[in-house]
Every structure is written in C-alpha cells, then in structure tokens.
Amino acid sequence: MTQPLHLGLLGAMPEEIGTDLSHLKDLRCSDHGDLTIHRGSWGDNVHLSLAWSGWGKVSAARAATRLLASDPSIDLLVFTGVAGAADQTLHQWDVVLADAVVQHDMDARPLFPRFTLPALNQDRLKPQPAWFHWAKTALLEAHETGELDGFERPSSGLIATGDSFIGDPAVLQALRDALPDLRAVEMEGAAVAQVAEQEGVPWLVLRVISDGADEAAAQSFEDFVRRYEQQAWRLIEALLQRCDDTPQ
C-alpha cells in the first residue's frame, strides 16, 4: 500500500477548480480571515487541501503560504486555472503544464537582471523534474483514453505571471520579444511557485487556455470561464486517477 498523496490545490476563482466539491469525502473547512481552506479525501489514496486564492500575485502568495502552513504533510502544491495564449498556436481548451514559470513584472534592474527574483537569485522557476514528468505523462494518458474529452492535447512550456490581465496585442508582443519561448500568461502561477520553492515543497502550474491575450481577451475569458466551471474538476481528476505513480 502506497502512502496517500496529500495534494494542495489552489485556483484563483471557484470556476477554475469547480464549486461542486461533492466528489470529496469527509469534507470540512476552516476559515483564515477571508480565505477558506477545504479539506477532504478523494478515493482511498488522496487527501486534498484546497482554496480559491483570488486574483493576482499577492493573493496567490498569501493563499499558498496559508495552505502550506496549515498542514505540513502537503506533498505537492498545484495551481490550476485558465490562461491567455502567448503562443499563437494555442487556442481555447488547450492544456498547458508549466515546465518553467517567470514573473514577467519583476524588474529590479540595475541591481538584478530583468525577471530575476532577488529572494532566489533566479528568473525562471522549474518544477521538480520527477513531478513534472508524472503530471505530463498522466495528462497525456488521460487525453489518449478520452478522459479529457473536450480539452485539447496537453503540452508544456513557459508560463509568465504578472499583475495585469493582458488584452493588448502590443503588450503581449513586448512580452514575447522579451521571452521568445513564452506560451501563456496568467496572474498567479509564478508567485505560488516562488512560495513553494521557498517553503521547500514541490509545485506544478497547470493551465487551460481561455483567450488570446488580445483585444477580445476580456470577452473570451468571461465566456470561457462560465463554461469551464463544469469541466475544471475533470482535469484535476486526470491527475488524481494516477496518484499511485507519484514520485513521492
């Protein structure tokens, strides 16, 4: 019998995980100021601690810190939700697992190079290879078996985080110029990754494309999120179904 996996799960908005938590057993919750942490189990081998952080880096970092401090047994912290496409080959419903994240608005020049996080003296943060490969394999397998019907084939790449909703092609192009391998933009992932790194906990950032980070982004985002709420849990479940193969 393998050790149960304790997954810490965060999303910015309820729609990004799904508000129906009835698939969890022994559900209980605790309030920490305005943050509610929900705990429960899934199947026989997964414990979950989850919360909706709110938008942006500060809210995400605060929720990650609270979640990790609330239970030292969390094995892996996953931030999930939607993202804008920076790579023009990506479209709505494409799944992107970050192989690296960067805070695109971190700029302490001339003291540190652009994007470098002074606390870690690093610009890009990468998930631990064993956890990344587990998640990528799990998602591809789930896609092949049809469990991710409706989602597009999962891929991986660089995701950039910053405190702006990108809906201006010129702003997006400037980010692409600075980060040529950029695939998606969002507002929380790299902040959570930084907290997890500093706390010594493995992390993953898993996103689904909701918009093109262009003039139509706000409308596409709103339409998408409404539909996504019913589907979000299936993406999480694709990972949970494969928790017996985790690298812990």
Q: Kindly indicate which of the ranges 88-96, 106-114, 150-158, 213-221 contains the residues binding ligand ADE, using the contact rule CB under 6 A.
A: 213-221
Residue selected from 8, 11, 84, 127 as contacting ligand ADE according to rule CB under 6 A: 84
**Residues 99/157, Cβ–Cβ less than 8 Å:** yes
List binders of ligand ADE among 109-168 (CB under 6 A): 165-167
Q: Kindly indicate which of the ranges 133-141, 148-156, 191-199, 208-216 contains the residues binding ligand ADE, using the contact rule CB under 6 A.
A: 208-216
Q: Kindly indicate which of the ranges 1-9, 68-76, 182-190, 235-243 contains the residues binding ligand ADE, using the contact rule CB under 6 A.
A: 182-190
Establish if 101 lies at the interface with ligand ADE (CB under 6 A). Answer: no
Cα(152)–Cα(209) distance, integer angstroms? 10
**156/210 with CB nearer ligand ADE:** 210
- The distance of closest approach from Cβ of residue 239 to ligand ADE in the complex, given in angstroms and rounded to an integer, is 21
Residue selected from 59, 221, 240, 243 as contacting ligand ADE according to rule CB under 6 A: 221
From the list 208, 203, 201, the residue with the least C-alpha distance to 224 is: 208
- The distance of closest approach from Cβ of residue 84 to ligand ADE in the complex, given in angstroms and rounded to an integer, is 3
Q: Which CB contacts under 8 angstroms, 24+ apart, belong to 129-134?
A: 130/247, 131/76, 131/202, 131/203, 131/204, 131/246, 131/247, 132/97, 132/99, 132/156, 132/204, 133/247, 134/242, 134/245, 134/246, 134/247
Exposed/middle/buried for 37, CB within 10 Å: 0-12, 13-18, 19+?
Answer: buried
Q: Which residues, including other chains, have CB under 8 Å from residue 185's CB and lie 6 or more apart? A: 83, 84, 86, 104, 159, 160, 161, 162, 166, 172, 175, 213
- The distance of closest approach from Cβ of residue 92 to ligand ADE in the complex, given in angstroms and rounded to an integer, is 11
Establish if 83 lies at the interface with ligand ADE (CB under 6 A). Answer: yes
Alpha helices in the chain (DSSP H): 57-70, 129-145, 169-178, 189-199, 217-228, 232-240
Q: Kindly indicate which of the ranges 89-97, 123-131, 134-142, 180-188 contains the residues binding ligand ADE, using the contact rule CB under 6 A.
A: 180-188
Establish if 90 lies at the interface with ligand ADE (CB under 6 A). Answer: no
Looking at the annotation, which residues are catalytic? 16, 211
Residue selected from 5, 60, 64, 82 as contacting ligand ADE according to rule CB under 6 A: 82
Task: Write out the residues near ligand ADE by the rule CB under 6 A.
Answer: 82-84, 165-167, 185-187, 210-211, 213, 217, 221
